[in-house]
A and B are shown apart, each in its own frame.
Chain A
């Protein structure tokens, strides 16, 4: 397409009639959207300013000395360094994403393609587990982990997150596999391929977009989780990122400068993930709620 000349642009602009109702809609929508961000703006302001400047409100700009010192202190904090927290959270969240995807895809395929007695009842029963609060398993889970020597280890927490992710991934993957045409698989079977080979060579590659959607959501849930980490991890150097922010506060004093900086350090990962992989995130979320 050829670029329009300036005269054509002006003519086009003249033709646009601004209707008051449309203007109002834009104003209200954008106004609400921006207002929605104000608490985050406050957090950012508290994080980049010395505590003395924000004690009576971060919106007071009479003295304004932006600095990254709070981030530096939170990153290398004496007791609860956030750098260590991020590392731990990654070490837990990455396997806790990959394992349940693999396990959930296998079992989802099984429920989609194999026939066995009571299949649909079992399927619904497993999916209903999604409704169960984490507190329902907490005490026995802690005891089991203690007996297995897995309390305060990443492996223990990874296993718990992997198991806990299966119901929703099963739901998502079974629905996904049911939408795939079975003909390709049938053809491979006629050629003598076994179930496992068909799954690895044919089905898994087709499921990659579904895996991406699940990975974003599952990673974010594990990253954002607090309860399981809180009951299973307690050594100071093993604490995950989400466990550290509130620990920066003393009983009678909250260092809002450090807590804000630490919060932003933790927040940046899910927010960046959402910003860059929004398409997959939304698809995952709508997939497991609406289609389910």
Chain B
């Protein structure tokens, strides 16, 4: 067959642009029908109600609903609404998981068996989040769970209760529990980042008599800035998209009094649990959530791309560069 060059001639009969287009066609079809069109349809749905254009009515319904924002709840605690819960989650979970991972990454630099310790902490990251939620429930329920009993043994009787059935303990318990599951992410990224910093920098600083804290402040932290930006970007996206964890630990209602309800779960409830389904409100919640994740992503992308230029000349990086010049 091949001897007379038939195969080649057959091949040449396809014009090159057509062959090249074939590389894109499967991806375009999949993305178009299963990602892009559904996104546009959801946006569309969010401005309609029963076939009639209603402008931003669905959005004002959702935003004015105490299920989304419940500012009157502030003096007494959760439920404060899904949007507020996502923000509280971010405010607590982001710094806790980021700095715990960073601390461990720096500490593990000079520990034997570091890769085993990293794996122990990383197990949470490969756990399906729905099971992460189930495990947290197992941890916080009384009398079966460890956390209430541990607080009881330490003498904190007010925390020796079933955390899952009290609004405040439920929300904050799940937030702290999610730190346990997610810390492996910043640990692994920071560990990888630390290996890219030349050892000479640390040695030169040590010879100069710099304290460990000063070395961290002036060398490690500034040089890890690109990693920090990635960790912050991805962690906030994870916090905004929280879904399985809350469902696994509670139910489709976000737990007792919806104390741990989040935006993604609210959308699921409106679109797939409520009878009759509140499809248009579900679309509005989804669009709102997507607006948040997209705004955040675009902002951080610009930061990451422009970051190098802005940080130049900043005080924090000066020592590192001086050392770099010497090394």
Among B13-21, B61-69, B89-97, B313-321, which stretch is in contact with chain A? Answer: B13-21
A139-B279, A246-B134 known; A274 vs B122 contact (CB < 8 Å)? yes
* A42 at the binding interface (Cβ < 8 Å): yes
B143 contacts A57, CB within 8 Å? yes
Interface residues of B in 135-156 (CB under 8 A from A): 135-139, 141, 143-144, 146, 149
B126 contacts A220, CB within 8 Å? yes
Residue from the list B45, B113, B290 in contact with A140, Cβ < 8 A:
B45
Cα distance, A224 to B240, chains bound together (Å): 18
A37 contacts B120, CB within 8 Å? yes
Interface residues of B in 248-263 (CB under 8 A from A): 248, 263
User: A104 — nearest CB in chain B belongs to which residue?
Assistant: B27
A57 contacts B144, CB within 8 Å? yes
A25 contacts B110, CB within 8 Å? yes
**CB proximity of A292 to chain B, nearest CB, Å:** 8
Residue-by-residue, is B279-298 near A (CB-CB < 8 Å gives 1, otherwise 0)? 10011011101100110111
* B311 at the binding interface (Cβ < 8 Å): no
B180 contacts A289, CB within 8 Å? no
* B247 at the binding interface (Cβ < 8 Å): yes
B22 contacts A266, CB within 8 Å? no
Residue-by-residue, is A266-292 near B (CB-CB < 8 Å gives 1, otherwise 0)? 110011011100100110011001100
* A48 at the binding interface (Cβ < 8 Å): no
Among A1-9, A65-73, A160-168, A179-187, which stretch is in contact with chain B? Answer: A160-168
A256 contacts B189, CB within 8 Å? no
Residue from the list B130, B282, B290 in contact with A242, Cβ < 8 A:
B130
B35 contacts A39, CB within 8 Å? no
Cα distance, A106 to B110, chains bound together (Å): 43
* A128 at the binding interface (Cβ < 8 Å): yes
Chain A interface secondary structure, helix, strand, loop or mixed? Answer: helix
Cα distance, A109 to B20, chains bound together (Å): 10
Interface residues of A in 178-214 (CB under 8 A from B): 192, 194-197, 199
A103 contacts B289, CB within 8 Å? no
Q: What B residues does A39 contact at CB under 8 A?
A: 135-136, 138-139, 146, 180
Residue from the list B11, B45, B135 in contact with A43, Cβ < 8 A:
B135
Interface bin, chain B: 35 or more
* B60 at the binding interface (Cβ < 8 Å): no
Cα distance, A139 to B130, chains bound together (Å): 21
* A11 at the binding interface (Cβ < 8 Å): no
Interface residues of B in 184-220 (CB under 8 A from A): 188-189, 192-193
Residues of A near any B CB (own CB < 8 A):
22, 25-26, 28-30, 32-34, 36-40, 42-43, 46, 54-59, 102-104, 106-107, 109-110, 114, 126, 128-129, 131-144, 159-160, 162-164, 166-167, 170, 192, 194-197, 199, 220, 223-227, 230-231, 242, 245-246, 254, 256, 259-260, 263, 266-267, 270-271, 273-275, 278, 281-282, 285-286, 289-290
Residues of B near any A CB (own CB < 8 A):
8, 11-12, 14, 16, 19-20, 22-24, 26-28, 30-31, 33-39, 41-42, 45, 104, 107-108, 110-114, 116-117, 119-124, 126-131, 134-139, 141, 143-144, 146, 149, 180, 183, 188-189, 192-193, 226-227, 230, 234, 237, 240-241, 243-244, 247-248, 263-264, 267-268, 271-272, 279, 282-283, 285-287, 289-290, 293-294, 296-298, 301
Beyond A135-B289, A242-B131, A267-B127, 9 additional contacts (C-beta under 8 Å) are A46-B144, A106-B23, A107-B26, A136-B39, A136-B287, A139-B279, A194-B19, A246-B248, A263-B135
